[in-house]
Structure formats: structure tokens, C-alpha cells
Amino acid sequence: MQKNIVLTYILSAVLLLTSRVSIAELMIEITQGSDSAVPIAIVPFTNKSAGAIPENINKIISGDLQRSGEFEPLPTNRMLSLPSSAKAVYYRDWRLLKQNYLLIGSVEYSKYTKSYKIQYELFDVNQQQRIIGEEVSGGEKSLRDLAHHISDAVYEAVTGVRGAFSTKIAYITLQGSPAAKAKLEYRLQVADADGRRSFTLLKTSEPIISPSWSPDGKKLAYVSFESGRPAIYTQVIKSGRRTLVSSFKGLNGAPAWSPDGKKLALTLSKDGNAEIYRLDLATKKLERYTRHYGIDTEASWSPDGHSVVFTSDRSGSPQVYRMNIYDLEPERLTFEGRYNARPRFSEDGDSLFFVHQSNGSFNIATMNLKTGNQITLTETPLDESPSLAPNDRMLIYSTQRGRKGVLAVVSVDGRSKYFLPSAFGDVREPAWSPFLR
Amino acid sequence: MSDPKAKQQTAGQSKIKATQAAKNLVQKSWYKLDKSYRRSIIYTSLLHGMVVLALTVGWQSKPEVKPIAMPRHINATVIDASTIDTLNKKKLEQEKKKKAAVDKKKKAAEKKKRDAKKKRDARKKKELKRKQAEKKKKAEAKKKALAKKKAAEKKKADTQKKALIKKEKEKEKERAKKKKDEQKKRDEKKRLDEKKRLDEKKKASEKKRLDELKRLKQEQQLQDMMLKAENDERLEREAERLQEQNRIEQETLRQAQIKADRVAEMNEVDRFIALIRSKITRSWHKPQGAKNGQTVVLRLNLFPTGELSNASIIKGSGDSVFDRSALSAAKSISRYPVPSDNNIFEKHFRQFSMSFSHQED
């Protein structure tokens, strides 16, 4: 009994001492991370087939990750080895190359199914462990989709944010020039997020503006002047079927899908002045949101569908306002500069992206709605039509390059910026699709 | 010639008679006494006898008596006169008491007797008158014979008286001498006693003085001891005080040194924390999906060379990607900057924690 008591005391003392030690342990606090991109080695995928692979999978993945601005892929020629399986991975090699992650994989074509099977594995070099791995397959036309899928998976595994490489973008191209008296051709086009595999959804000699994706990514709403005056259409991307939803007298513009996909916010001037309305797509019922002698336009829904932001010059210059759809009381959000327009909510609803004019140039700016902090993201002179990727990490907008309009992508932290290639002349009015799967 | 003889005879007879009468009276008185009185008288007499004997034997001394011219050997017993007086006095008192008691009894008896005697006396008076007349005649006849005898006896008695006076004188002389000697002896004895007393007194006073000296010496010794003890204690206290003061000074110095060391150590620790933080910050690729306030805490164990021995998550953020990014950053550093001072390393950098958090601006 006494022995037990003594043991208890000793144990208590030890525990006390241990707890004291743990309290006294040095604690280093880290709140800042590296500004540089994450080093990743994407080893060329081994071709296990007899024939050549039509797409360079690792190149597509490298391109995706690099464009995000958050990854820095290692050039292939600097690699010390090209493993295609976990057994062949020597972490020490990749540590020497100061790589944090290693992506390896292989592609195999099956003649029987006429499909490609891609197997990949991602390793954390520092922790010397496999993080993710998967086997995906698809036909020849799906090879880029499979590559984007792998990019998404790697992106999410490393950043914790869903990748948006498998999404699409819609934009308007203009061929010809009124000055050259050549025939003008406006096209509504849809392409992969990397600008590849574009296809034309609508081709017309009259202007097309303001494309807007339905929340399910299956339809587009846009304004077309093909009838000689503006009208709003919706079009199913896959089938190409079009629906005229609004062709009121006067202005019909700036369609924006509500988060549930059942309504459109529109700008109509049927009552004399450009005002924001809500159109129920099923019932065709209209509800007027704004009543002001100033111009109210370019509405965009908040992700929760409870409010809309729009541009209004009711204060004398275009500024961004927010309005709760229940009390319809507009609240001005922007106060910096004389021009703030085309607002778009981030997917999390915390930020707003809009065109901001300062020092004579139009740039894309973002505002944190909680703090009111505003940051200008772009610096080219005529930036417009911002559209946010569904993961809130990238922003696409149109700008001028020479005398041509081009599409540019910038990461929301401003660290990365690139231009999208385009097969056609002027490119404008981009719209980033939501997640498609 | 016949007269003196008759006289002598008569005297002897009367002497015998007187003796007999005294004896009878003593016996009569003795037996008249109570038994307990008799015993007491015996015991008292014995006791007195023993005391006299003891005094006689005890006081025998052999003083150095210088021979006096013409010494005379006299067989004498030295008796203390005062003792005898005392004894006699006591005896007399006792006897007086006895006599008083006897007298009392006697008086009572005598009273009775007197009454009877009065009657008897009256009878005897007549008888006596007759006898006295007879006796007067005889006495006158005898008177004449006696006057002759008396004249002879007076002569003899004068002679004897002269001899006796002479003898008495001698005796007196001897007694005076004896008394003188005794006085002398007493004086000597007294002197000796005095001397002895004085010696004893002197001895006692000397002893007392010595004792006093001894006591004083002891007191002095005790005082010395006490003083010494007090002094020792004071010295000890002083030594202790000095020791304590020294200890405090040493402790103050030690504390100051510890403080200085600690400051230096903390400076060194801070320097290496900054180096580690800088290195980690460069290595940590904070996930874009990090949410505000997200924090993961790692525990790192290093080798003295700065190489990572082990890194583990002790408090996750709830987001595996965020946690992994931190762990990956911690493990990406092949060699941590650590102090060369082994003590500081062991104390702070052998094992430490690192928190990675995302704070939005």
C-alpha cells in the first residue's frame, strides 16, 4: 500500500515535470509563407503503348499548373532520373533538385477499347510519401480532359483548392474591321480554360455581347443584335438550341443567371430608363429591382442569391452598388475613382471584382467586402470584362494588345498573368464557366 | 578511764542508733514511696552514676604538668564540682519533691495521728510528768556522772578537736592546693580549649577562606567559560553573518551572471529562432486554400548538427493539406541553423515546436 502511494507520488512528480517541460518548450511561430511558386517535378509520362500518344500529357499538366502561378514545374532536362513507378523514385535526387513534389505517370493505349489509360502518382518529396494516385481512361478526344483532370487533382492535393483546369471559357471574337470595310463576323466561342479546343456556338454579323454561363455550365445567355436591336437569348451548349428570353422595347442587356439557374437578372429600358429587372425563366415574369433616373446595369448575383451587385451612375459617375433583393435598397460599395463598373462576386461571396479606372487607365480591381480593402490586379490600359474562375483563384479579362483585343488571365493574388492564344482577331467579353462536373 | 570508755561506748551506740534510725527512716521512706518512684530513683541514680563515671573517665587528661616542688601523692578523685552541684541540686529537688509528696501523705496521717496523739499525749503527759520526775532524779544523778564524763570527754574532744582542726587545716591546705591545681588545670584546659577553638576557628576561617577562594575561582572559571562561550558565540555569529553576507554576495553575483547568461542565451536563442523562421518561411508554400486562423503545430527533434531527426504534428489544423504543407516545409530543410553552444541547443533546439498559421491581412 505504502509502495503504491510512493509510486503515485513519483509518477505525479514525473508528470508534473513533463508538463512543465512541455510548457517551457520553445515555440516558433510561422505566419508567412514563401511568395514563390511550389517547385514540382512533372516527369514525362511513360508511353506503354506501341504507337505515339497524340497529346503530351505532362506538358498539358505542366502548362496548367504553371499558368496558375502557384507551381513552378522543373524543366525536363534538369531531371536526374525519369521514374514512372514509385519503386524507381529516389527522393534524394528530387531533394537535391529542391523539388517539393514529384508527379510521375504512364499512358497506355488499348487497341481493343480504343481508349487511353493514364496512371499517375504524386509524391511529397520532403515527407517521402505518396499523396495521391489514380488511373483514368478515355478516348483520344478526352486525352486533354484527362490531363486537365490530373492537373485539377494535383492542384487540389497541394493547395487545398479545387482545380479549375477542366472548366471552359466563353468569349466573343470579332473578325474583320469596319474601317477596312470587310465583312464583320462576330462569334460566340467556347474553349477549354487554357484556350485550347475552342468551338463556335454562334456566328453573326451583328454584335454579340455579355455571355453568361448558367450555374450548371450547360447553357449560355447573351445579348445578340442579330435582329437589329438587342435581345437576350439562352443557348444550350451541347445541342446549340437557342431561346429568346427578352426582346423588350429599348435596351435588353447584361443577363446574369441566378445561382439556382431559374432566373435571369437583366437590364431593360422598357420603362424609359435602364433599370435592373429579374426575369423568371419558367414563368417569364418580370420583377423590377431598381427605380432610379440614373442608369442601372450589369447586375451580378451573390452566390447565396440574396443580393445583387450592379453598376449605377446615380451618383454622377459609374459606381458599384449592392442591393438586397428583399428590401431593394441599394448600397454604394465603391468610392475610389470616378469609374467602377462591371462587378462580379467571387464564388465565396467575400470579394468583388470590377473594372476600376485610375490615372486614365481601366484595370481590374478587387475589393474585400468584409474589410473594404481594394487592390488593383492588372496594369494594362484597357482591361475590362472580368470573370472569375469558379475556384476564385484566377480571373479572366479582356485587354488590348497592340490594336487587338486579347484575353488575359491573372491570379487573384496578382502573382501570375498570361494571355490566352486565340485563332481569331479581336477577342473580348470572356466568361469563365462554373465547375462542369 | 571507765568514763571515756563508757562515753565512747555511748557515742558508738548512739552512732549505731542514729545510723539505724536513719536506715530505718530511709527504708521506711523508701517503702513508703510508690513503686514507680522507686524505679525512677534507681534509674536516676544509675544514670547519675554513669554520668559521673563518664565524666570522670572522659575528662581524664594528661596535661603536661611540670613537677612542682615537693610533690605529694594524693589519692584523689577529680570531680567536677559543678556537676556534683548540679547532681546534688537535682537530687535535692527530687528528694524535695519526694519529701513534699511524703509530707503530704504524712500530714494526712499525722493529722490522724495528732488527734490520737493528743489523747495519747494527754495520757502520756501524766506518765511523762511522772517519768520526768523520775527521770529528773535519774538525770540529776546522771548529770553529775555526765558532767564528769563530759569534762573528760571535753578534754578528749578538745584534743581530738585540735587534731581535727590541724588535720582540717592540712586538708584545707591540700584542698586549696588541689583547688589551685585544678584551677590551673582548668585554666590550662581552658587555654588549650581556647587555643583549640581558636585553631579550629582559624582552621575553619582558613577553610572558609579557601572555600571562598575556591568558589571565587570556580565562579571566575565559570564566568570565564561563559565569557568564552559568549565570545565564541559572538564570533560564530559574526562568522555566520560574514558567511551569509558572502553567500548573498555570491548569490547576487551568481544571479547576475545567470541573468546575463540568460540574456545572452535568449539573444542567441532569438537569433536562431529568426534564422529558422526565415528558412522555414522560404520553404513553406502556404496552401491557397488556407483559411484565416488555421493553425498547425509541429514538434521537431534535431540532431546537434542541425539535421532533422523527427518532425510530427502535435496539433492539427483540421485541414490535411494545410498540415502537410507545414510538415513538408519542416522536412524540406536538410540542416537547421542551430547554436554551437551545446547547452543552448539541448535546452531549446533539441526539441521545439513550430506553429504554422494563416492570418489574413
Residue-level pLDDT at B4: 55
| Co-location of A154 and A172 in the same domain | no
Question: Is A27 at the interface with chain B, CB within 8 A?
Answer: yes
Q: Is A132 at the interface with chain B, CB within 8 A?
A: no
B295 touches chain A (CB under 8 A): no
- Grid look-up 514563390 returns A36
Nearest to B331 among A25, A32, A126 (CB): A126
Closest-CA distance, A234 to chain B, in angstroms, reads: 34
Q: What is the pLDDT of residue A180?
A: 61
Please indicate, yes or no, whether residues A143 and A200 belong to a single structural domain of this protein: no
User: Does the pLDDT at position A339 exceed 70?
Assistant: yes
pLDDT given for residue B154 in this prediction: 84
Closest chain A CA to residue B356: A30
Residue B284 has its nearest CB partner, among A26, A30, A373, at: A30
A21 at B interface, C-beta within 8 A? no
The answer to whether the Cβ–Cβ distance between A124 and B329 falls below 8 Å is no
- pLDDT of B180 reads 87
Instruction: Provide the number of CB pairs (under 8 Å) joining chain A to chain B.
Output: 102
Predicted confidence (pLDDT) at residue A341 exceeds the cutoff of 70: yes
pLDDT of residue B158: 84
Q: For residue A413, is it within any domain? A: yes
The CB density around residue B98, as the number of other CB atoms within 10 Å, is 18
pLDDT score recorded for residue A390: 92
- C-alpha distance from A347 to closest chain B C-alpha (Å): 13
Residues in B touching A26 (Cβ below 8 Å): 269, 273, 348-349, 352-353
CA-based radius of gyration for chain B: 68
Radius of gyration of chain A (CA): 27
Residues on chain A touching B273 (C-beta within 8 angstroms): 26, 28
CB atoms within 10 A of CB B70: 5
The pLDDT mean for chain A works out to 88
Q: Mutual orientation of helices B81-283 and B320-332 as an angle, nearest 10°? A: 100
Task: Please indicate, yes or no, whether residues A80 and A16 belong to a single structural domain of this protein.
Answer: no
Using 50, 70 and 90 to split pLDDT, how confident is the model at B318? very high
State the Cα–Cα distance between residues A391 and B345, nearest whole angstrom.
45
| Range A243-247 average pLDDT | 93
**Mean pLDDT of all residues in A92-112:** 93
Among A195-199, B7-11, B230-234, B300-304, the minimum mean pLDDT is found in: B7-11
- List the 173-202 stretch of B: residues with Cβ below 8 A of A: none
Percent of chain B with pLDDT strictly greater than 70: 89
Q: Which of A26, A157, A160 is closest, CB to CB, to B353?
A: A26
Is the per-residue pLDDT at A8 higher than 70?
A: no
The predicted structure's pLDDT at residue A41: 96
CB neighbour burial string for A127-148, b if at least 16 within 10 angstroms, e if fewer: beeebeeeebbeeeebbbbbbb
pLDDT value for B1: 40
Q: What is the mean pLDDT of residues A414-421?
A: 81
Q: Please indicate if any CB of chain B lies within 8 Å of the CB of A164.
A: no
Window B:254-283, CB contacts with A under 8 Å: 269, 273, 276-277, 280-283
- The reply to whether A375 touches chain B by the CB within 8 Å rule is no
Whether residues A155 and A172 share a domain: the answer is: no
The verdict on residue A4 lying in a domain is no
- Is A226 inside a domain boundary? yes
Across all residues in chain B, what is the average pLDDT?
83
Are residue A144 and residue A192 in the same domain, yes or no?
no
According to the model, what pLDDT value does residue B206 have? 87
What's the pLDDT score for residue B61?
52
Both A80 and A108 in one domain: the answer is yes
Q: Residue B235: pLDDT above 50? A: yes
- Read off the CATH number of the domain in which A50 is found: 3.40.50.10070
* Residue A1 confidence (pLDDT): 47
pLDDT in the model for residue B126 = 84
Least confident of A220-224, A343-347, B98-102, B324-328: B98-102
pLDDT in tens, B62-111: 555 555 555 555 565 656 666 767 777 877 888 888 878 888 887 888 88
Looking at A106, A135, A159, the residue that finishes a domain is A159
Q: Which of A159, A189, A223 lies at the terminal end of a domain, its last residue?
A: A159
Average pLDDT over residues A31-46: 91
Count structural domains, chain A: 2
Q: Which of A137, A159, A181 is the last residue of a domain?
A: A159
Distance CA A66, CA A62 (A): 6
**Which range has the worst mean pLDDT, A116-125, A367-376, B57-66?**
B57-66
**Is the pTM for the entire model greater than 0.80?**
no
The reply to whether A217 and A247 lie within a common domain is yes
Say which of A28, A36, A413 has its CB closest to residue B277: A28
Of A310, A313, A284, the C-alpha closest to A299 is A310
Q: Residue A96 is part of which domain span?
A: 37-159
Per-residue pLDDT at B168: 84
How far away is chain A from the Cα of B321, in angstroms, using its nearest Cα?
A: 6
State the pLDDT at residue A21. Answer: 42
Residues A289 and A326 in one domain: yes
Q: How confident is the model at residue B361 (pLDDT cuts 50, 70, 90)?
A: low
pLDDT greater than 70 at residue A182 = no
Residue of A nearest to B329 (CA): A126
CATH number for the domain spanning A270: value is 2.120.10.30
- Is A5 a domain residue? no
Q: Phi and psi of B355, rounded to 5°?
A: -105, 135
Question: Any CB–CB contact under 8 A between B348 and chain A?
Answer: yes
What is the model's pLDDT at position A19? 43
Can you give the pLDDT at residue B2? 43
Residue numbers in B near A38 (CB within 8 A): 285
Range A368-393 average pLDDT:
88
Domain membership flag for residue A1:
no
Contact A28 B358 (CB under 8 A): no
Q: Would you state the pLDDT for residue B16?
A: 75
User: Is B354–A27 a contact, with Cβ atoms under 8 angstroms apart?
Assistant: yes
